[in-house]
Amino acid sequence: MNFSKKDIVLTSFVVVALLIRLLPHPPNVAPITAVALFAGTHYGKKYWAVLMPLFAMVLTDIFLGFSMITPIVYLSFVCITLLGSLLKKINFLNILLSSLVFFVITNLGVWMLYYPITSEGFATCFTLALPFFANSIIGDLFFSGVLVLGYHFAAKRLQIA
């Protein structure tokens, strides 16, 4: 395989995010949604864009644990990566949209797996998830900013197109 300087820098950012996910952090304040959006907007090869966040999740989930919801969480990151490919840029609204995609997909999964499939079950599930959504937004904004600024700094310094 032939990796460009850009691919190596992008992948190093994913590795750092992977390591950060293993550190103690508040619930849902994690870098993977930001990595998925970042990968979708920056990787030239879209299969790498999709694989990188999944790779980070699988490797960290080996240590953190898998659950019934894991495939749905992974699906949400694939959707966010594809969204990033379509949007082609990271800005405040796109980060919020990514947070919303994660929130809706994962909580639909939680509702279907763990709550009664009723309007009351749906309302309870999504209401109880709201504090986690706030944490997700905080983490997604922070880590997206770190990724974008870090990449621009590295790209300028290493003269990557």
* Predicted local distance difference test score (pLDDT) of residue 161: 66
pLDDT tens across 143-153, in order? 999 999 999 99
pLDDT tens across 37-48, in order? 999 999 988 999
Amino acid at 133: F
pLDDT tens across 7-44, in order? 888 889 888 988 999 999 999 999 999 999 999 999 98
Yes or no: say if 140 and 100 are a contact pair by the CB < 8 Å rule. Answer: no
| Cα separation, 52 vs 34, whole angstroms | 12
**Integer Rg of the chain from CA:** 16
pLDDT tens across 87-128, in order? 999 999 999 999 999 999 999 999 999 999 999 999 999 999
The residues spanned by each domain of the chain are: 5-150
| Cα separation, 109 vs 115, whole angstroms | 10
- Verdict on whether the full-model pTM lies above 0.85: yes
